[in-house]
Structure 1
Amino acid sequence: MALDGCGLVCKYTLFIFNLIFALVGFAFLGIGLWLRFSNGTRGIFEIEALNSSAFVMAVTVLIALGAVMVIVVVFGDYGACNEKSCALQVFSVLLAILAIADGVVGVVGFSNKDAVGAHIVEFYASMYGLYATSGDPVIGVTLIFIHNMLHCCGVTGVSLLELAKDTCPAPNGFFEKLKMPACPAIILSVFDSKAHLMLGIFIGTGVLLIIALVCTIILLKQTKRNQQEVTAYYSTVY
């Protein structure tokens, strides 16, 4: 039996949601795996004393989060496109877990914003040092993104001292040709001043997950109803 209008809207909403989720998940997984196994960074993971560093933890989180997102997308797309109730049930459970985890991480991160900001600065410093010594292109692209987004340049901002100034944005005015804002201070300042915005991003992500969960439940109910109607029809005919 065909889905009604609400079911079709939910089906295509889940398809779009999973498409975006897949792109983000593969990006996280790809960057995480590159940083984990790249020649310039692989040695860090082989040093036991650095296993608790911000860089190692961030890369591990990227790989784990990317893998989880890809797994969620597989169940979501398979269940929504083929109207499989079992896959939709697993997908709904995974969405519920992600929504709860998103809320917990957002609240804990906001409550410990100073410590989180310090870990982000440590992660940036690790990325900067690795690029300065290895010239890894993926790390370079990451630094370019950070530098342009925050309009900062390296750990000092002084053009003559910077080892990765090729990743810095174009200076605004004469004085910035000599010294731009240093990224560690900018990161701490932005994280402190934008903590409420970041909490809002986590809340918004949680809302999107809940909307996807509601659509999944609606589609699951209609799929089960259609399966029951088909079973009843064939039992009547035969």
Structure 2
Amino acid sequence: MSYGEMSGGMKCLKYLLFLFNLIFWIAGVGLIGVGIWVLVDTGTYNIMKLAEVSTFTLYVGGYVLIGAGVVTMIVGFLGCFGAIKENSCLLGTFFICLLLLLCLEIGIGIYAAVQKDQFYGVVEKALGALSKTDYAGRDEASKKIINFVQENLECCGMNSTTNWNPKPQSCACTKTVSHCVAGNWNRPCNVQVRMFLMNSAGIIAGVACGIGAIMLIGMVLSCCLIRSKGGSSEVV
């Protein structure tokens, strides 16, 4: 293989790696966005507050995502700079950073998968306990959260639609759907809360999987560029 051909191959790899690192950098921005969403999402906060589950974990998770996004952006910039400069040291550092981030992401994913049923169980158990106190006997702050959950998740009662007697205004249907019976939502909130939390977790998992795929592509491209650069040096 001639030096010109090798140089052309390196140039192609260099710009491919630059492109993927640009995407990786944007993914870091996405992670920061998801972290902010976790922190400001009133639905998740109110559900955890209603279930009397500590919101500390929610805030920690949000800040971890923001921190991961910042690190991802820094690593993406490092990869872009290393690709443009064709610097083996920077590319090697970039590869190691990606490997560490990927291992961390896999570890967090495994932990979340193992703990998710336990977490959902705690939330549902807490909602069941809440059903023992009637709506009318609650303080205004608690009523406000219950109303928010029932209106947004289109449900009535914690673990049964007969929990409240009389039913609060938030149980009244606001549209004609199959789960609207006799003017009230005809499904309890415990199942809807679980589905809401699962959907939120699905969004985070989807973003994580996308970033993980970008990491693998970046690792492969960085290795190829390092090897190609070494090969062209030998020819010279």
Q: TM-score range by the shorter chain?
A: 0.5 to 0.7
1:183 correspondence with 2:169: no
* Contact kept? 2:29, 2:73, Cα under 8 Å: yes
* Contact kept? 2:155, 2:187, Cα under 8 Å: yes
Aligned length: 197
* Contact kept? 1:75, 1:87, Cα under 8 Å: no
Alignment of 1:39-78 (within 5 A): 53-78=53-78
Q: What is the one-letter code of the residue matched to 2:181?
A: F
Q: How far did residue 226 of structure 1 move?
A: 5.6
1:24 correspondence with 2:27: no
1:15 correspondence with 2:16: no
Residues 1:124 and 1:213: Cα distance change in structure 2 (over 3 Å):
farther
* Contact kept? 1:153, 1:180, Cα under 8 Å: yes
Residues 1:107 and 1:23: Cα distance change in structure 2 (over 3 Å):
closer
RMSD over aligned CA atoms reads 5.1
Q: Deviations over 1:131-166 (max 9, x none)?
A: 926x9xxxx7xx79x94xxx5447547894266x79
Residues 1:124 and 1:67: Cα distance change in structure 2 (over 3 Å):
farther
State the match for 2:135 in structure 1.
Answer: none
Q: How far did residue 58 of structure 1 move?
A: 1.1
Alignment of 1:29-178 (within 5 A): 29=36, 31-32=38-39, 53-81=53-81, 83=83, 85=87, 88-119=91-122, 132=144, 147=152, 152-153=154-155, 156=158, 160-161=167-168, 170-173=175-178, 174-175=180-181, 177-178=183-184
Q: How far did residue 63 of structure 1 move?
A: 0.9
Structure 2: runs of 5+ lacking an equivalent: 1-6, 129-140
Residues 1:106 and 1:229: Cα distance change in structure 2 (over 3 Å):
closer
* Contact kept? 1:21, 1:69, Cα under 8 Å: yes
Structure 1: runs of 5+ lacking an equivalent: 45-49, 234-238
Residues 1:218 and 1:189: Cα distance change in structure 2 (over 3 Å):
closer
Q: TM-score scaled by structure 1? A: 0.55
Q: How far did residue 79 of structure 1 move?
A: 2.8
Q: How far did residue 76 of structure 1 move?
A: 0.8
SS in 2 for 1:59: helix
